[in-house]
Structure 1
Amino acid sequence: MIRRAEPNDARAIYEILSKTDDSWTMGVIESELKTESSRAFVYMDEEGAVQGFVDIKILYDEADLMHIAVSEEMRGKGIGARLLAKAIEEAEGKAIALEVRMGNFKAISLYEKYDFKKESVRKNYYHGEDAAIMWRRK
């Protein structure tokens, strides 16, 4: 089940992000969940545990996909795709931008399935690794 993220989800979101190389702190997550332009959602399993997270920031006529992450044990089950579809729905037809590690082939493949296209590269964006800048313009 996907639902809007709530402030009490911050700890579970932090736990998921801490297993990635993401640097968001609890304070940043808590702040992001309160930001008016942010639309954050969680995926919950049958037991009610948060297993995935997506955050899209709506900015005027475009959107920025800030995060999408799934717990290690739930990867490969289509949760990321469902969260991405929810973020696209929330963008309401606006163009969506994102950054992704050039070496994250699974993520790039997922984004391409949802009509994101590589438009440029940010050198050394991820602590020495380049980032692909991808856009979905529909």
Structure 2
Amino acid sequence: MIEKTYAYDVQALHQIEQEVFLNEPFALSQASFYYHVKKGMLYKAVLDGVIVGYILWLRRKNSYRLYSLAIKPEYRGQNIASQLLSESLKMLDKHTFTLEVRKSNSKAIALYEKFGFKIKKELNSYYDNEDGLWMKLER
């Protein structure tokens, strides 16, 4: 179900991005997806041959940053985000992981806390119209 991504996946990944992050200034372009597929820290969730979500990690010197996690709206509530997070964490070789999340996104915050992420800092006006939270996991 959780698999590495390839260039032929980019169109489907970009479609999910457009669906989930419609009108968001940080939404990834199709070219960005090609770049991240080459870097190898972009994983997809596949159900019945359909890409239903993805997770993108960015490598830092001593850590990884969770840049984006998206599930097609019609597939939410099926534990896919948990599986993406769980499986991708197993594939990464660092011990420190960080992310930013909207302060109002209680479902995402609960998911991250389930995996041991802790809120470390409030990010005032991080998003266009909202504060964010910076979370960290050390294992």
Matching of residues 18-57 of structure 1 within 5 Å: 18-21=18-21, 22=24, 23-35=27-39, 38-46=40-48, 48-57=49-58
CA contact (8 A) 1:68 1:80 kept: yes
Matching of residues 12-23 of structure 1 within 5 Å: 12-21=12-21, 22=24, 23=27
1:98 equivalent in structure 2 = 99
Per-residue CA deviations over 1:14-56 (Å, capped at 9, x if unaligned) read 1111122342111111112123xx411101111x110010111
CA contact (8 A) 1:58 1:91 kept: no
What count of residue pairs does the alignment treat as equivalent?
135
Q: TM-score, normalised by structure 2?
A: 0.91
The amino acid of 1:40's aligned partner reads L
Give the Cα separation in 2 of the matches to 1:55 and 1:118. Answer: 20
Matching of residues 57-72 of structure 1 within 5 Å: 57-72=58-73
| Structure 1 runs of 4+ with >6 Å offset | none
1:10 equivalent in structure 2 = 10
SS of the counterpart of 2:28? coil
CA contact (8 A) 1:100 1:133 kept: yes
The amino acid of 1:17's aligned partner reads E
Cα offset, 1:105, TM superposition:
0.5
SS of the counterpart of 1:19? helix
CA contact (8 A) 2:55 2:68 kept: yes
Give the Cα separation in 1 of the matches to 2:59 and 2:52. Answer: 23
Give the Cα separation in 2 of the matches to 1:87 and 1:2. Answer: 8
Give the Cα separation in 2 of the matches to 1:29 and 1:125. Answer: 23
2:112 equivalent in structure 1 = 111
The amino acid of 1:19's aligned partner reads E
CA contact (8 A) 1:55 1:87 kept: no
Structure 2's unaligned 5+ residue stretches are none
